[in-house]
Amino acid sequence: MTEFINNFEESNRLRGLAHHAIPGGAHTYAKGDDQYPVLSPGFIAKGFGSHVWDVDGNEYIEYGMGNRAVGLGHAYARVLEAATRQLQLGCNFTRPADIEVECAETFLETIPGAEMVKFCKDGSDATSGAVRLARAVTGRDIIARCGDHPFFSTDDWFIGDTEMNAGIPDAVQKLTVNFQYDNLESVRVLFNRFPGKIAALILEPSRGDDPKNNFLHEVRDLCHRNGALFILDEMITGFRWHNGGAQQLYDIKPDFSCFGKALGNGFSISALAGKREYMKLGGLEQTGSPRVFLLSTTHGAETHALAASIATMRIYQDEPVIEHLYHQGEALRAGIDQVVARHGLDEYFQVTGRSCCLTYATLDQNRTQSQAFRTLFLQETIKRGVLMPSLVVSYTHSDEDVARTVEAVDGALGVYKQALENGVGKYLVGRPSQVVFRRFNRQSAAERTLELADNA
């Protein structure tokens, strides 16, 4: 792929305005300027299928797809048509809309392990609703979360257990503890350390590899033997691993599961699903126990988002969406692996994850994870018309997209190899990107210089 010159004039103008008006310059930390190179599009103007155009008119093949929220492709016609028809009837009323029932029934048909569902707007609402309900059911306070999984919620119960815990009371921070994925002993240790105090365990079914040694089932059984509940966060796996979620693929029924992201193909909708015996505690008919304020959001059942979700779920039921995600992901992995081998970079650049949800690792001369080399790689692929914070494909990623992406990666890795030999600072324009969860915003100038020198 021929390298082209990106013009970021309008993006750069908007950056200053954005940071003046919006803390962080964006409403999602993962979309912030600190996650991308200096030479990158700051703002996207439109998207169609697997391509996006920034405010300066530059076109990119996109991977990441709205932080995995767009599974079918941007502006997917059948979804847009359903949402538009519903919007013409209004989107929010004083009483429930009939489409709420239709969407709930469609969801329960799609996710066979779920018995009741409540919709909300984002993943944090869903997981925090599950946590609150688990605490109400068990009468316990402590939540155990998988420390190998990067994000569960913007709420205190999770953020208090991260580096960005400023503003979270110490008492709240102590109510969340960690275990490791595929490490059953780490779960046993927690139950022994906090007997009768753990309300629930929450984890993603998988980050890529399948669970080993019946891990999910063993953890669920261990939870139940100790009086705790078992929560699966299916925000990512839900509409990628299998139409019915990873829980169907792995044949496991959780007490609660949380869905979102691709549930509405980019429209704002998420779901807390679970067993009827627990979910009904947030209803109007239970007696003999206190009511649980489960989820109650003004915009949680906006009708156009529900219409988009129904259309999305039916497309997944009717068409080979999941099969396409796996197929294109496998082709992408194979093509990039060949390029990596040709450059002799097997120990420095690695494609990881499940084929339907790939990512990559960028390693420095010491074979350790490097933000500087990640930033360089992003810089060079952006130059070649590909925006790839991850390698997450959609239903609209074509064979041509994959071929052009492999070509762009080939060119980028040529620069990457030179940077390994001569120092990343000679090729990277500006500062490296940073991880989201960090206690302080900026490294000092001396620290940044040292990082670049270490990679020289």
Chain segment 193-214, per-residue pLDDT in tens: 999 999 999 999 998 889 999 9
Is the per-residue pLDDT at 154 higher than 70?
Answer: yes
Using DSSP's 3-state secondary structure scheme, residue 53 falls into strand
Q: At residue 150, what are phi and psi to the nearest 5 degrees? A: -75, -25
Confidence of residue 285 (pLDDT cuts 50, 70, 90): confident
Confidence of residue 446 (pLDDT cuts 50, 70, 90): very low
Confidence of residue 279 (pLDDT cuts 50, 70, 90): very high
Strand 176-179's sheet: what is its strand order? 116-120, 270-274, 256-259, 229-233, 198-203, 142-146, 176-179
Query: What is the average pLDDT across 401-410?
Result: 98
Q: How far out from the chain centre does Cα 240 lie?
A: 11
How far is 86 from 204, CA to CA, in rounded Å?
33
pLDDT of residue 19: 87
Q: What tens digit of pLDDT does each residue of 360-398 get?
A: 999 999 999 999 999 999 999 999 999 999 999 999 999
Written out in words, the top-level CATH class of the domain with range 77-318 is alpha beta
The pLDDT > 90 percentage for the chain reads 80
How far is 374 from 432, CA to CA, in rounded Å?
8
Query: Residue 445: CB partners within 8 Å, gap ≥ 6?
Result: none
Is the per-residue pLDDT at 358 higher than 60?
Answer: yes
Q: What tens digit of pLDDT does each residue of 9-38 get?
A: 999 999 989 888 998 888 888 888 888 899
Query: Of 1.20.5.440, 3.90.1150.10, 2.160.10.10, 3.40.50.720, which CATH number belongs to 9-68+321-454?
Result: 3.90.1150.10
How far is 356 from 208, CA to CA, in rounded Å?
9
Q: What tens digit of pLDDT does each residue of 77-94 get?
A: 999 999 999 999 999 999
Count of CB atoms situated within 10 Å of the CB of 57: 10
Confidence of residue 451 (pLDDT cuts 50, 70, 90): very low
- Comparing 435 with 58, the larger pLDDT belongs to 58
Any idea which of 320-324, 385-389, 397-401, 435-439 has the lowest mean pLDDT?
Answer: 435-439
pTM of this structure: 0.92
pLDDT of residue 3: 56
pLDDT of residue 4: 58
All structural domains of the chain with their residue ranges: 9-68+321-454, 77-318
How far is 404 from 381, CA to CA, in rounded Å?
11
How far is 246 from 54, CA to CA, in rounded Å?
34
Helices marked H in 22-96 — which ranges? 65-68, 77-87
Q: What is the DSSP string of 249-294?
A: HTT---SEEEE-GGGGTTSS-EEEEE-HHHHGGGSSS--SS-----
How far is 111 from 105, CA to CA, in rounded Å?
10
Q: Which residue has the tokens 């890529």?
A: 208
Query: What is the average pLDDT across 319-323?
Result: 98
Count of CB atoms situated within 10 Å of the CB of 16: 10
Confidence of residue 456 (pLDDT cuts 50, 70, 90): very low
- Percent of the chain that is helix, strand, coil (3-state, to 5): 45, 15, 40
Residue 337 region, left (φ>0) first, then alpha (ψ -120 to 50), else beta? Answer: alpha
Is the per-residue pLDDT at 296 higher than 70?
Answer: yes
Is the per-residue pLDDT at 454 higher than 70?
Answer: no
Any idea which of 134-143, 145-154, 251-260, 380-389 has the lowest mean pLDDT?
Answer: 145-154
